[in-house]
């Protein structure tokens, strides 16, 4: 199975009058994230290592608004639906691994989430705590039988994804 971790794009700053789960992508963040999602969609569609058909891909998102907006942009690019999972927002590794046990080995799961959870998950799964900037992505070959032996395939910061999207 292949996992692709995608951090949400640039969002509104934290402030006392706005609940964290309601923080949306900024106007500039939406534009940058849309380009990054276009680049990621091109990469996923052309990557020889993934050998994907779009029927083999699912998009899972944190229910927090900024992650849902990011996942929605990618879903539109790939013409897919997305599902929300609370464990992505909470960063619960046990729930992630449990959910992945129900997924066929030949699937690709794109998980749109947050920091520091994505870095922590990448460290736990493949020993690489990756520095996810907003709208960065990483692909990991995931082993259901031995999750901690998963391997990093690629890691791309948003600037490179946006270049791919141009």
DSSP of 97-143: HHHHTTS-TT-EEEEEE-TTHHHHHHHHHHS------TT-EEEEE--
How does pLDDT run along the chain (166 residues), one tens digit per residue? Answer: 999 999 999 999 999 998 889 899 999 999 999 999 999 999 887 755 544 444 589 999 999 999 999 999 999 999 999 999 999 999 999 999 999 999 998 899 999 999 999 999 999 999 989 999 999 999 999 988 888 889 999 999 999 999 998 8
Sheet with 108-113, side-by-side order of all strands = 82-84, 57-61, 108-113, 2-7, 137-141, 151-156
Q: Which domain holds residue 74?
A: 2-165
Q: For position 28, which CATH number holds?
A: 3.40.50.1240
- Tell me how many domains the chain contains: 1
What is the pTM for the complete model shown? 0.92
């Amino acid at each position: 199975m292949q996992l692709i971790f995608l951090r949400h794009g640039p969002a509104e700053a934290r402030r006392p009058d706005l609940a964290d789960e309601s923080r949306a992508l900024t106007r500039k963040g939406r534009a940058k994230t849309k380009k990054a999602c276009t680049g990621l969609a091109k990469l996923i569609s052309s990557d020889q290592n993934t050998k994907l058909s779009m029927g083999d891909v699912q998009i899972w998102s944190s229910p927090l608004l900024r992650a849902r907006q990011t996942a929605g942009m990618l879903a539109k690019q790939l013409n897919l639906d997305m599902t929300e999972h609370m464990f992505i927002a909470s960063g619960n590794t046990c729930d992630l691994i449990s959910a992945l046990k129900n997924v066929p080995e030949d699937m690709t799961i794109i998980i749109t989430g947050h920091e520091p959870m994505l870095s922590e998950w990448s460290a736990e799964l493949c020993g690489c705590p990756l520095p996810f900037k907003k709208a960065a992505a990483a692909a990991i070959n995931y082993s259901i039988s031995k999750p901690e032996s998963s391997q990093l395939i690629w890691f791309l910061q948003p600037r490179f994804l946006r270049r791919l999207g141009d």
